[in-house]
A and B are shown apart, each in its own frame.
Chain A
Amino acid sequence: MNGAQDMGGMHGFGAVLAEPDEPVFHAEWERRVLALTLAMGATGEWNLDASRFARESRPPSEYLSKSYYEIWLAGLERLLAERGLVAPDEIAAGRSLQPAKPARRTLAAGDVAGAVSRGSPTNRDAPQPARFDVGDRVRAKNLHPVTHTRLPRYVRGHVGTIARVHGCHIFPDTHAHGHGENPQWLYTVSFDGRELWGAEADPTVAVSVDAFEPYLDPAP
């Protein structure tokens, strides 16, 4: 979706302000939101792509006015409500008001280390050969889905070159919406800075995105 999360190339946000000796968390609730998000992710009630969509699909003014852990909290609350696991009135009450719908799994303390070190690889067997090879020129499609996508606006319609082939991976555009893993070839596509930002742009800059095959057309 063309939401506020898709920020590449926007103006007006000002300078990057790095905090010297920044702590990992700035408040106790941030620790809890991180842990709750990871623990609920481990239940298998939704996948990573669905959680990204739950965070980004909100009015731009709301997205931009929240801190990052506030966005995670809002995304988590939305997923819990959509799956019928926790209703908003239960959060307001601070206790369960309806019988718990069983979750698929619960992450036990003893299983955290294993789960963290295994991760959730998205690589899948290739259902068909790759359409593109390193060095091929491709044009990012001019797509504007209202659903989840990982093709940023700033490359749409522009021509780049395949720089790397990463194998086949779960396709976020379908996976986020319960339409299956639908594995697709994944490529790093490199764009000249002037192709993206115009003739006046810095000629020493190249920008790459990691793009799934359905995002790309061959270019002459």
Chain B
Amino acid sequence: MSLARDDPRAGDHEHGSELSDTQLRVRALESVLVEKGYVDPAALDVLIETYETKVGPHNGACVVAKAWSDADFRRWLFTDSGEAIASLGFTGRQGENIVALENTPDVHNMVVCTLCSCYPWPVLGLPPVWYKSAPYRSRAVADPRGVLRDFGFELPTDTRIRVWDSTAEVRYLVVPMQPAGTDGWTENELARLVTRDSMIGTGLPRRPEDVTR
């Protein structure tokens, strides 16, 4: 895999020897850092567990579901996103300044980091490979409709597209439109409709008929 042509579907096993070199090098580096007392191996395990199991797009889905079902929260979310999101317990690293972006029938928001991989960790977790890849970073700002076609959907031609390039320490969370036919659903039920990609702006929420209430 490489940044320029990150095809995760090609599979890691095709580059087995190259990867095992990297694996050995990382193991060696970790040994040196532990031996010198710079890192605590137990802290490494907690960090991995945090980002592999605790912090992820399920957090953002709670924010979106609450914005769909609670008008007061929705207003708060779009006036002071950071405080509103923090009230649900989502704060911290790579999300110190979060701004929620409202999708409407007229405006579709889409988020990218052309310069590296900036992403709202507390609400979405770590970014997927495609978000960090050259195809997405190069085209999201110049051809967003083409990128959305890569993701399998076409916006109406008169919908305006706002692309937000996260070039500083502000992180953006897209709040997609609530799917029709879901009035009266609970927050937990609504959260099942919210996909990671719909909160980046490269996808839409699931359809009500595709989830179990």
The contact of A208 among B4, B39, B136, B163, by CB within 8 Å, is: B163
Q: With both chains docked as a complex, state the minimum distance between the C-beta of A38 and any C-beta of chain B, in angstroms.
A: 5
B28 and A85 form a contact (CB under 8 A): no
Residues of A within 8 Å of B, CB-based: how many?
97
Are the CB atoms of A205 and B161 closer together than 8 Å? Answer: yes
* A203 to B, closest residue via Cβ: B160
Per-residue CB contact flags for chain B residues 157-172 toward chain A (1 = under 8 Å, else 0) read: 1111111111111100
Interface string of B58-93 (1 = CB under 8 A from A): 000000000000000000000000000000000111
Say whether B96 contacts A119, CB under 8 Å.
yes
Report the minimum CB–CB distance from A170 to chain B (whole Å).
Answer: 8
Size class of the B contact interface (CB-based, 8 Å) = 35 or more
Known A-B contacts A66-B3, A210-B170; the reply to A7 vs B114 at CB < 8 A is: yes
A61 to chain B, nearest CB (A): 9
Cross-chain contact A208 with B23 (CB below 8 angstroms): no
In the complex, which of the residues B3, B25, B91 contacts A67, with contact meaning CB atoms closer than 8 Å?
Answer: B3
1/0 contact trace for A87-129 toward B, CB 8 Å? 0001111111000100100111101110111111111000000
If A103-B38, A116-B93, A166-B97 touch, does A8 touch B48 (CB 8 Å cutoff)? no
Residues of chain B within 8 A of A39, CB atoms compared: 33, 38-40, 43-44, 47
A13 touches B139 (CB 8 A): yes
Question: Is B3 within 8 A of A120, CB to CB?
Answer: no
Please give, as numbers and ranges, the residues of chain A lying within 8 Å of B40 by CB-CB distance: 39, 106-109
Taken together as a complex, chains A and B put the C-alpha atoms of A123 and B162 apart, in Å, by 25
**CB < 8 Å A-B pair total:** 302
The contact string, 1 if C-beta is below 8 Å from chain B, for chain A 58-97, is 0000011111101101001100000001100011111110
Q: Does A18 contact B (CB under 8 A)?
A: yes
| Residue in A closest to B89 when the chains form the complex, CB atoms | A117
The verdict on A52 contacting B116 (CB below 8 Å), with A14-B135, A94-B32 known, is: yes
B50:A40 contact, CB within 8 angstroms: no
Cβ of A146 within 8 Å of any chain B Cβ, yes or no, is no
Residues of B near A8 (CB, < 8 A) are: 112, 114-115, 137-138, 140-142, 165
Residues of chain A with a CB closer than 8 A to B91's CB = 117-119
Instruction: Choose from A17, A19, A151 the contact partner of B135 (Cβ within 8 Å).
Output: A17
Q: Is the CB of B177 closer than 8 A to any CB of chain A?
A: no
In this complex, the member of A10, A65, A118, A212 whose beta carbon has the largest number of chain B beta carbons within 10 angstroms is A10
Chain B: CB-nearest residue to A171: B168
Task: Check A95 against B35 for contact (C-beta < 8 Å).
Answer: yes
List B contacts of A33 (CB < 8 A). Answer: 26
B168 touches A186 (CB 8 A): yes
Verify B3–A71 contact, CB threshold 8 A.
Answer: yes
Q: Is the CB of A204 within 8 A of B47?
A: no
Contacts of A197 in B (CB 8 A): 142
A-B pairs with beta carbons under 8 Å apart, 22 shown: A9-B142, A17-B8, A22-B129, A27-B19, A39-B43, A65-B4, A68-B133, A76-B29, A94-B32, A95-B31, A117-B91, A117-B93, A119-B94, A120-B96, A123-B96, A154-B142, A196-B141, A202-B144, A202-B161, A204-B157, A205-B145, A210-B165
On A, residues with C-beta under 8 Å from B are 5-11, 13-19, 22, 24-29, 31-36, 38-40, 43, 52, 55-56, 63-68, 70-71, 73, 76-77, 85-86, 90-96, 100, 103, 106-109, 111-113, 115-123, 150-152, 154, 164, 166, 169-170, 172, 186, 188, 190, 196-197, 201-202, 204-212
| Known pairs A22-B8, A40-B33 / 4 extra A-B pairs, C-beta < 8 Å | A16-B130, A95-B31, A116-B55, A154-B142
Top 9 A-B pairs, shortest CB-CB distance? A8-B114, A94-B28, A109-B42, A100-B36, A210-B168, A35-B44, A19-B8, A119-B92, A10-B138
